[in-house]
Amino acid sequence: MKKIFLISFLVLSTFSSIAQVSIDNVTKEELLEKQNRAFPTSGAVIVDEKNKVYFDINLRDGNFISGEEVTRKIKLYKEQDLSKLSFTIPYFVRGAYAEDVAIDEVYVYSLVNNEITKTKITSFESKKEGDYREKGVDFTKIPNIPEGSIITYRYKKLSENLDVLPEWFIQGDLPKQRSIYTMRIPTYFTYQMIQTGSQKIASNESIIDVKYGNGLLDSNTIKTLEKTLVALNVSAFSEEVLVDNAANYINKVRFDLSSVQFPGSKQQQVLGTKQTFFENLQKNKRYWKEILNDRYYRKQISQLDLSAKSDLEKADLILNYLQKEVTWNGMYGIYPENGLKSTYLRGQGNTADINLMLISMLRYVGLDANPALVSTRSNGKKKEWQGMYYNNLIAVLQSEGSYYFLDASSKNASIGVIPIDNLNGVVTMFSDKEGTKDLISTPAFVSSRKENYQLEFKPNGSLTGTAIHAYDNYEAFFVKEKFSFMGRFKYIKELEFVNPGLSVHNFVLNDNRTVDKNIARISFGVNKPNGSFSFNNKFFVNLFQFYDGKSNPFVTDNRLYPIDFAFPNSYTYSVSLLIPKGYKVDVLPDDLEIKDADSGVSAQVKYTRKNNRIEVIVGLLKSKAVIEPEYYENVKQVYNSFYNKLQEQITIEVELE
């Protein structure tokens, strides 16, 4: 177990050869300022931010370590934005790359009787979960921070990880007047710089001589690259609904170690290319030996009835067997963590352990199965080759010219329906005998959700009846995952919570799947005493009160990022309302049918009257998983028309003889 050798002049003071920059420079004029000139509507602004990244020598073993120092000066204009000033620093204390963090110089400046007061903050937040740690400051828990205050702080972080330098997040929750990123890197190390976003950056660099180890080591000075990046007047990042991962769009700069060359030695390529990465993986005999080893499961697989079964039927039986035998430990991976045999015997492993075992079993029964690497939605989309380009592994079955994705890490996955975090565009399939092949993980098929309510209106204004919800494919997967996480009791309570006054009884979930479809069906009884409201001897009933999606998600004037539904889907909602004898509904609202071909979004609302029943069918189809922002106005028009219809009510009144 490795541990960073921390010495006071490294952590609590500064890193070698780098002068401290004072953040103790606050004036009355700054404190009296009522609004920021560059961002006049913002409730808080980062006036100045400095990120410094540099190397030093770990005196314990003589290896290089990296250090990061961050200083910020923030002006609070509106008290309601105080929470945006809080910060958290994550780090790991053990493992391949141990880290440590120190927070110092946290001050609050304010005006009291026209004099500047300076208050030192010593109350820090902390969190511990195994090897994972967090340190930070929650300014909402600190009393007496009035509007107009200025907060300054500094923290330092040490890491043994030189493969990736700390990212420069140019954008954040708050706008920034100035953000500076300075790096001092020995010329032994070459880093690839990748920028996301279109923020203009000024840059300058030079080669300087630096003596490392704070002069305690008998060493010569080392040629060092000093590079400074500056961004001015950076707007805050605008959050939008239905985005795959905000990190794909936020302005930032990433640094990956590309190569290393020490004096007197050859250059070592670290990052390589996508091609060399897969070539090395295909030549990795230990990797493929794990897949070829089938001794530990032969007996169990041989007991499965695979005779006279199609490829998909065989695959489904093996997938179902493995899902029952092995549980995911919550960790993604492209390499086995425990080894396949050990994972099988222990009943737990990461995604690579589980899905490589699935591939091994599928191959054992004669199926054409190979691994595929994925950058999950949570890992983000990568424009250029970089470290952690892939972070997950799934299985691909090839049968009769078609490719099917499988992932046994989820108990609720099925053939062609895998955890949604994997639906991130392109996956790369590879084998030990052939090259690579890029496949699209975004489903082409539509997953459906159908909800039907058979209700009866009571003269006291209540609604009673039954509900049946039917889901297939990814809609079914989503419901099963949610139910597995929440449990029966919480699932029912959420149904009641989102429909105030609703009482659910006789709840039943039927969980099923076929070779080509994932299925879920829910049924329950409905009783809602406040299902209508009355006025002047009339009852007003909204037939859409059980519709899941109470508000229109598209209300902003414009859109910057693609709309991401993850998968094409349709939502059909229907209600059949029995009107008791002696009551009537004179007029039904108009129907609606609207469709936009460019975005693939369509909606319809259709009313019918059948004897003493009023029926309505609502349909919302999103035939594309991703819609580019240029079609946002089209989507917005469809949704506005649709949600306006959902506000309409029918009027029930006594039928006069």
Closest CA to 461 of 608, 550, 609, 580: 580
101 DSSP β-pair partners = 157
Rounded to 5 degrees, φ, ψ at 528 are -135, 100
Report how far apart, in Å, the C-alpha atoms of 214 and of each of 186, 188, 611 are: 15, 19, 90
What pLDDT score was predicted for residue 138?
A: 95
pLDDT of residue 145: 94
Query: CA-to-CA distance for 38 and 390, rounded, in angstroms?
Result: 39
Assign domain 447-654 to its CATH architecture. Sandwich (2.60)
Q: Which amino acid is at 287?
A: Y
Sheet holding 447-457, edge to edge: 503-514, 517-528, 463-472, 447-457, 569-578, 613-622, 601-610, 592-596
Q: Which residues of 525-538 are buried (b: 16+ CB within 10 A; e: fewer)?
A: ebebeebbeeeeee
Quick one: which H or E segment has residue 299?
helix 298-302
Neighbouring C-beta atoms of residue 29, cutoff 10 Å? 7
Along the chain (657 residues), what's the average pLDDT of each consecutive run of 10 residues?
Answer: 40 40 75 96 97 89 90 96 95 83 94 93 91 93 94 95 95 97 97 94 96 67 95 96 95 96 93 91 90 95 93 96 96 93 96 97 97 96 87 97 97 96 96 90 97 97 97 96 95 96 96 86 97 93 95 95 98 97 93 97 97 96 97 98 96 85
Beta-ladder partners of 363: none
For the chain, the structural domain boundaries read 8-269, 274-440, 447-654
> Residue 657's pLDDT is what?
63
Q: Is 600 in contact with 565 (CB distance < 8 Å)?
A: no
CATH T-level fold of 274-440: C8orf32 fold (3.10.620)
The reply to whether 447-654 shares the fold of 274-440 is: no
Write the DSSP symbol of residue 338.
Answer: S
**Per-residue pLDDT at 537:** 87
CATH for 8-269 is 2.60.40.3140
Q: Can you read off the two tokens belonging to residue 106?
A: 């946290």
DSSP 214: G
- Report the Cα–Cα distance between both ends of the chain, in Å, rounded: 88
Give the alpha-carbon dihedral of 324, 325, 330, 334, to 10 degrees: -120
The pair of three-digit structure tokens given for residue 145, joined into one six-digit string:
């921070």
Match 């297939």 to its residue by tokens: 472
